[in-house]
Amino acid sequence: MNIPEDLRYSKEHEWARQEGEFVWVGISDYAQSELGDVVYIDLPAVGDHFKQNDIFGSIEAVKAASDLYCPVAGEIVEVNNDITDSPETINKDPYNDGWMIKLKIDDLEEFNNLMDASEYLAHISD
C-alpha cells in the first residue's frame, strides 16, 4: 500500500498536499483500490467554496460510487480536467496525475490537523 509521507489524510480517504496557501486534493491509493476501476468523476467548478468535510464531488467505479469530501475549507482555484476525460488515471497514479482539485486554503490549522501517513496507516488497518 502506497502512503506517501509528505501528505496528510482525512478519515474519508482523501489526501492533501500543501504548498504555501494552496492545497491539492485527491483520493488515497487505498481508496482507489477499494473502489476498483474508476469510470467517472464529477468535480466542482473553479470559484466554488467548500467548508471542511463538505462534499465536493463524486467518483464512480465498476464496484461502487462514493462522494468526495473536502479535507480542508477553501476556494477551488484549479480542477484537474484531465481525469474527467481519463478517470482511470486515478487508479494508475492517485497521488500525482490523479489529483482532483487545488484549493486556496482558508485555515492552515485544518491541514495540520489531518492525519499523517502513520496515523492514516493505522486508520485503514483497523
CATH number for the domain that contains residue 87: 2.40.50.100
Instruction: Please count the structural domains in the chain.
Output: 1
How high is the mean pLDDT of the chain? 96
Cα distances (Å, whole numbers) of residue 3 to 33, 69, 90: 13, 19, 15
Residue 126 lies in a domain: no
The answer on pLDDT for 1 being more than 80 is no
Range(s) of the domain holding residue 85: 8-108+117-121
Residue written as cell 477553501? 74
Residue 80 lies in a domain: yes
CA-angle at 5, arms to 107 and 56, nearest 5°: 45
pLDDT band at 63 (very low <50, low <70, confident <90, very high): confident
